[in-house]
Amino acid sequence: MKKEPKNKDYLLNVIFYAVQYIVSKKFDIDDFDYTKACKFIELFDRWLDLFCKLTPIDLIQIFPIQKIFDDKRWQNRNFVSTIEMLVKRGLNKPLGKKVLEILNDYLNPDIDDFCIIHTCVFDIIFTEVYFKNQTTH
């Protein structure tokens, strides 16, 4: 059996603590202006670059899939649909460029919060750029 390199453990720890930092901060998105949002997105992008190197097996190891099985009633993500999505991608294949899509479909409360915060901050940037373009035309 091939032994994982120590830098892999370091990568897993960095990603775990990055997500814990984001979800534990209780950010007040209303306090974010365009500049603060841009800096925050830069930080998110660096973390997402690290996520790209993970395999689904790594992701499951540090962020266990939440055990919810009732998707017929709510037509929502569940344990089985999450596993199916990961198996379809390949369990030993790095998440790569579709990392944000995979994280959004992944069933874990910390990952959910991480993605929600990313979306909210990105929305601040989009809104600023969109409305700035609307007023200049």
Q: What is the SS3 string spanning the chain? A: CCCCCHHHHHHHHHHHHHHHHHHHCCCCHHHCCHHHHHHHHHHHHHHHHHHCCCCHHHHHHHCCCCCCCCHHHHCCCCHHHHHHHHHHHCCCCCCHHHHHHHHHHCCCHHHHHHHHHHHHHHHHHHHHHHHHHHHHC
In a structure prediction context, what are the per-residue pLDDT tens digits for the chain, which is 137 residues long? 455 557 889 999 999 999 998 888 777 778 889 999 999 999 999 999 999 999 999 999 999 998 876 655 555 667 888 889 899 999 999 999 999 999 998 989 999 999 999 999 999 999 988 877 666 65
Q: What is the pLDDT of residue 82?
A: 87
| CB-side neighbour CA atoms (13 Å) of 36 | 10
Q: What is the pLDDT of residue 62?
A: 96
pTM of the model: 0.82
